[in-house]
Amino acid sequence: MTAFSLEPAQLAWCAELRTLAAERLRPLAEKGEPGHVNRALVAELGRLGLLGRLFTSGALDLCLMRESLAHGCTEAETALALQGLGAHPVHAHGTEPQRARWLPQVADGTAVAAFALSEPGAGSDAAALALRADRDGPDRWRLTGEKCWISNAPEADFYTVFARTAPDAGARGVTAFLLPADRPGLTGTGLDMLSPHPIGSLDFDAVPVTADDVLGELDRGFRVAMGTLNLFRPSVGAFAVGMARAALDATLAHTAGRDAFGGKLKDLQAVSHQVAEMALRTEAARLMVYAAATAYDEGAPDVPQRSAMAKLLATETAQYVVDTAVQLHGARALRRGHLLEHLYREVRAPRVYEGASEVQRGIIAKELYAELYAHQEAR
């Protein structure tokens, strides 16, 4: 894919989002209770029209939103992303009644969505999930089992839940359900995580669902999950790029102003070279994220590979950049409340969720060999 740059209108929009994040969203984020859904923040995202754009924008616009918000307020970025992740299956695969019931409330920030795929024994291996959907009559099932590491659980208003409707069928026996949070038999518990986002486990005790709750086709829910992840994986990379850029900007300001060894910290070659490396990797990751998002918007055949590459490079890059920024700032960056202390906790999880780095490498290799074999067969 050829190199490209953003249009002036896109650059202006990103600047506006960074300002909104810093001036209007960060104060709301700071008032939130750690480990719980910040409904005031979600509602403000709705009032600003950002949640509605989740259903009208392409992958590149999603990346621009996530990168720009992450630069000024990671909590706002995450709240927006979780609304999109939980509601996208409804937008893309839901029936008209399902869409009419939930999407307007997601868009205005009055309903909180969640994407319930991971389980204690099936995190990265989504095809191995064990939540059972046992038949309970024609077009009726009972969900029994557990989900874990679910963002916005147990406080979401509805969940996109993936359950096994065909035993021993692997990825071919999974169905996606739209599950309102008030269904009998559904309970949950919050988890205390390194970064204090709302994350929890869900317990399903014969929770009733019907054909009206199915998203997409019966036994074809794996496609719903993977289609959603292919869209959101590049934007996870965009989130990482936003954090990396925030860490780089803080480092530029710090090293330019800090006196050390008879000059400014930036005058030390060891420091300036590290800053240059941070900038180099951040820009490379940004370009790969934009390329992957553009490929998705154009319907390119190599989206899974590009999405995996973008998420892998960007999240690993952000880890490096934030860690280096902490090193160059010294002990002040480790003090509770410092921007880099915050980013240091935030930056670790994206290397794990929506497919760990090792999973992304597996996807990339699988796609490369599939391409090789296809070329060999075409000869």
What gap in Å lies between CA 140 and CA 136, rounded to an integer? 5
Euclidean distance between CA atoms 222 and 127, whole angstroms: 7
Residue 143 has phi, psi (to 5 degrees) of -90, 130
Q: Which of 15, 85, 74, 18 is nearest to 51 (CA)?
A: 85
DSSP strand pairing (113-116 vs 158-164)? parallel
What is the spatial distance between Cα 292 and Cα 284, in angstroms, rounded to a whole number? Answer: 12
Phi-psi region for residue 273, left (φ > 0), alpha (ψ -120 to 50) or beta? alpha
Return the structure tokens found at 273. 């070279």
Question: Dihedral sign, CA of 9, 14, 20, 23?
Answer: negative
Task: For residue 302, count other CB atoms closer than 10 A to its CB.
Answer: 13
CA–CA separation, 190 vs 192, rounded Å?
7
Q: What is the DSSP letter of 220?
A: B
Cβ within 8 Å of residue 51, ≥6 positions away: 42, 45, 80, 83, 84, 106, 107, 108, 109
User: Which residues belong to the active site?
Assistant: 354
DSSP state of 14: H
